[in-house]
C-alpha cells in the first residue's frame, strides 16, 4: 500500500481519497483552501456524493488534509485533481495545474509516481507538467520518476457507475509510467485501459465530453423545429431508442451545465485553433446551440404567457430546480442562471424552489426562495420545471399549476407544455 498525496480535494479529489483510503492506502489531501482543509479535518464533507460518515471513516483510517506542501516529500504517489477552468480572456486556465506542479517539483523524490487527473488539452502532461517537474527538481520523467495522465470520469449523482466499476483510462509518459499508475489504480478500480501515451488519454476524455455536448446540441436544435412542426420530440427519441444498436438517446433541455459539457470541449477546439489555425466546427456549433437554449426557453415562456393574455412583465414565474443536474446541489454553469437572467430582463418576477439550494443570487441580488411548494405552484402565473429532482412529482405539480412548462419532458398528462 502506498503513501498517497492528492492535490485538490473537490468533486474529483475527495471521492478518490475515500476510495484509496478504503483500499488501505495512507492518504493525505493537499488543498490551498483553508476552509476545505478545516472542514475535512473536522469530518465534514463538501461534496454531494459523500456523506460526513465517509469523511469520518476515512479520518479513522488515517486521512488528514493539509495546506502544507511538504507532505509531498514522503509520497509514493501524487495525484493532481485541481480545477482547469476557462479563463475570462477565453482560453484554458492552467494556473492551478502549474501551481500544483511547482509544489510537487520542490519536493519531488526518486521513484514517485505523478498522475494528472484534471481535464485538459492534449499535450498538457508532456509539454506543461513534465518540464515544470523536471526543471525545478532536476529529476527526469520516465527515468527518475513516473508520470501519467488518467482522466477522471466521475458522474456526480450516478447510482450505478462509480469509481470502482468505471474503467480507468491511463496514458503513461513511458510504458513503465503507465504500469506504475495502473498498479495504484488497480487496488480499487476493477479495470484499467491503457492508451498509447498521455496525449491519447487526454484526448479520450475530451472526446467523451465532446460526444455528449454535440449529441445534446443535436436534440436541442431538433427541439426547436419539432415544436414548430408539432412533433413530440420526446416521443421521437423514445421510438428511436428502441433500436438495439447504433443509437444512443440524448434529450433536449434548457441548456447544459456543470464543467464537463459546456467547458471541456472548448479545451479541444481552442487547442485545434491555436495549433493548427482552423476551427473544430462541431464543437463551436454545439456551443452556439446549447448556449442559446436558456434564451429559447425564456422566449417559449413569454409565448405561453402571451397566449393567455398575460404580459411577461410583472408575471410571477416559479423556477423548479436550479442545479445543473437532478438530485445534487452543484450549480456550476447551471442553465437556470441565464434563464432567470432572460426572464428578469423581460420584467418577470422570479421565485425558485430547490431542495438543494438554500439561497440563489442573480446579478448579486438574492432571489425569493419558496418553501411551500404547493401554494407557490398554484399562485405562479407560470411554473417552469428546469431540473427534475426526485422530490418533484411533475404530473401532480402540472395539474395544480395555472401554466406548467416542462423543459425536461417528464410530464405525461394534460396541462403541461413540454419543451
Ligand atoms: N466535477 C466533475 O464532475 C468532474 C468530472 C471529471 C473531471 N473533472 C475535472 O477534474 C478537475 C477538478 O475538478 P473538481 O470538480 O474536483 O474541482 P473542484 O473545484 O470541486 O475542486 C478543486 C479543488 O482544488 C483546490 N485547488 C485549487 N488550486 C489548487 C492548488 N494549486 N493546490 C492545491 N489545491 C488546489 C481547490 O481549493 C478545490 O478544493 C477539473 O479539471 C475538472 O474538469 C471534474
Does the reported pTM lie above 0.85? yes
Mutate to test the pocket of ligand 1, among 6, 8, 205, 324 (most ligand atoms within 8 A of CB): 8
* Per-residue model confidence as pLDDT tens digits over 113-153: 999 999 999 999 999 999 999 999 999 999 999 999 999 99
Q: Give residue 12 CA to ligand 1 midpoint distance, Å.
A: 6
Q: Can you tell me the mean pLDDT for 249-265?
A: 92
How far is Cα 27 from Cα 231, in angstroms, rounded to an integer?
Answer: 54
User: At residue 157, does pLDDT exceed 90?
Assistant: no
Check if 8 has its Cβ closer than 6 Å to any atom of ligand 1.
yes
Q: Of the candidates 28, 3, 47, 30, which has an alpha carbon nearest to the alpha carbon of residue 163?
A: 47
Q: Give residue 8 CA to ligand 1 midpoint distance, Å.
A: 6
Q: What is the DSSP letter of 15?
A: H
The whole-number pLDDT of residue 48 equals 81
The whole-number pLDDT of residue 78 equals 98
Integer CA distances (angstroms), 15 to 7, 38, 76, 306, 326, in order: 13, 17, 19, 48, 19
User: At residue 11, does pLDDT exceed 80?
Assistant: yes
Q: What is the mean pLDDT of the chain?
A: 96
Q: Please state at what angle helix 233-240 crosses helix 198-228, rounded to 10 degrees.
A: 130
* Per-residue model confidence as pLDDT tens digits over 24-35: 999 999 999 999
The whole-number pLDDT of residue 71 equals 97
Check if 384 has its Cβ closer than 6 Å to any atom of ligand 1.
no
Which of the four pLDDT bands, split at 50, 70 and 90, describes residue 415? confident
Q: Give residue 122 CA to ligand 1 midpoint distance, Å.
A: 18
* Per-residue model confidence as pLDDT tens digits over 33-72: 999 999 999 999 999 889 999 999 999 999 999 999 999 9
Q: Give residue 204 CA to ligand 1 midpoint distance, Å.
A: 19
How far is Cα 75 from Cα 122, in angstroms, rounded to an integer?
Answer: 27
Contact 191, 207 (CB under 8 A): no
**What share of the chain has pLDDT > 70, as a percent?**
100
Check if 394 has its Cβ closer than 6 Å to any atom of ligand 1.
no
Q: Which atom belonging to ligand 1 lies closest to the Cα atom of 95?
A: 31
User: At residue 388, does pLDDT exceed 80?
Assistant: yes
The whole-number pLDDT of residue 155 equals 84
The whole-number pLDDT of residue 1 equals 86
How far is Cα 84 from Cα 232, in angstroms, rounded to an integer?
Answer: 38
User: At residue 353, does pLDDT exceed 90?
Assistant: yes
Contact 187, 25 (CB under 8 A): yes
Integer CA distances (angstroms), 365 to 152, 341, 345, in order: 35, 11, 14
Sequence-distant (6+) residues with CB within 8 A of 42 are none
The catalytic site residues sit at: 260
**What share of the chain has pLDDT > 90, as a percent?**
92
Q: Can you tell me the mean pLDDT for 252-277?
A: 92
CA-nearest residue, atom 13 of ligand 1 = 83
Which of the four pLDDT bands, split at 50, 70 and 90, describes residue 348? very high
Amino acid at each position: 500500500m502506498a503513501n498517497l498525496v492528492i492535490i485538490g480535494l473537490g468533486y474529483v479529489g475527495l471521492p478518490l481519497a475515500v476510495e484509496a483510503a478504503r483500499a488501505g492506502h495512507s492518504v493525505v489531501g493537499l488543498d490551498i483552501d483553508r476552509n476545505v482543509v478545516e472542514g475535512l479535518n473536522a469530518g465534514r464533507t463538501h461534496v454531494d456524493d459523500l456523506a460526513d460518515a465517509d469523511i469520518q471513516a476515512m479520518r479513522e483510517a488515517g486521512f488528514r488534509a493539509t495546506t502544507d506542501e511538504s507532505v509531498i516529500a514522503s509520497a509514493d504517489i501524487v495525484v493532481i485533481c485541481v480545477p482547469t477552468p476557462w479563463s475570462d480572456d477565453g482560453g484554458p486556465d492552467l494556473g492551478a495545474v502549474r501551481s500544483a506542479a511547482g509544489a510537487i517539483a520542490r519536493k519531488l523524490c526518486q521513484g514517485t509516481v505523478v498522475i494528472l487527473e484534471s481535464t485538459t488539452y492534449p499535450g498538457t502532461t508532456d509539454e506543461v507538467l513534465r518540464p515544470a517537474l523536471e526543471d525545478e527538481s532536476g529529476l527526469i520523467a520516465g527515468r527518475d520518476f513516473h508520470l501519467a495522465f488518467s482522466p477522471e470520469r466521475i458522474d456526480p449523482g450516478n447510482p450505478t457507475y462509480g469509481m470502482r466499476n468505471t474503467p480507468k483510462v491511463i496514458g503513461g509518459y513511458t510504458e513503465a509510467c503507465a504500469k506504475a499508475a495502473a498498479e495504484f489504480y488497480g487496488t480499487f478500480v476493477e479495470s484499467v485501459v491503457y492508451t498509447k501515451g498521455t496525449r491519447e488519454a487526454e484526448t479520450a476524455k475530451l472526446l467523451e465530453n465532446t460526444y455528449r455536448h454535440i449529441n445534446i446540441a443535436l436534440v436541442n436544435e431538433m427541439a426547436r423545429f419539432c415544436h414548430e412542426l408539432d412533433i413530440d420530440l420526446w416521443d421521437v427519441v423514445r421510438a428511436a431508442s428502441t433500436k438495439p444498436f447504433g443509437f444512443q438517446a440524448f434529450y433536449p433541455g434548457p441548456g447544459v451545465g456543470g464543467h464537463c459539457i459546456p467547458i471541456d470541449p472548448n479545451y479541444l477546439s481552442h487547442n485545434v485553433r491555436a495549433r493548427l489555425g482552423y476551427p473544430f466546427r462541431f464543437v463551436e456549433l454545439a456551443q452556439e446551440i446549447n448556449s442559446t437554449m436558456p434564451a429559447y426557453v425564456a422566449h417559449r415562456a413569454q409565448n405561453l404567457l402571451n397566449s393567455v393574455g398575460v404580459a411577461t412583465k410583472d408575471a410571477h414565474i416559479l423556477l423548479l430546480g436550479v442545479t445543473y443536474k437532478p438530485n445534487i446541489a452543484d450549480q456550476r454553469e447551471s442553465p437556470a442562471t441565464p434563464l432567470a437572467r432572460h426572464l428578469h430582463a423581460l420584467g418577470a418576477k422570479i421565485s425558485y424552489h430547490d431542495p438543494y439550494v438554500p439561497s440563489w443570487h442573480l446579478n448579486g441580488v438574492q432571489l425569493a426562495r419558496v418553501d411551500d411548494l404547493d401554494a407557490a405552484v398554484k399562485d405562479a402565473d407560470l411554473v417552469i420545471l428546469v431540473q427534475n429532482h426526485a422530490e418533484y412529482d411533475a404530473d401532480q405539480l402540472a395539474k395544480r399549476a395555472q401554466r406548467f412548462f416542462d423543459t425536461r419532458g417528464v410530464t405525461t398528462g394534460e396541462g403541461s407544455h413540454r419543451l
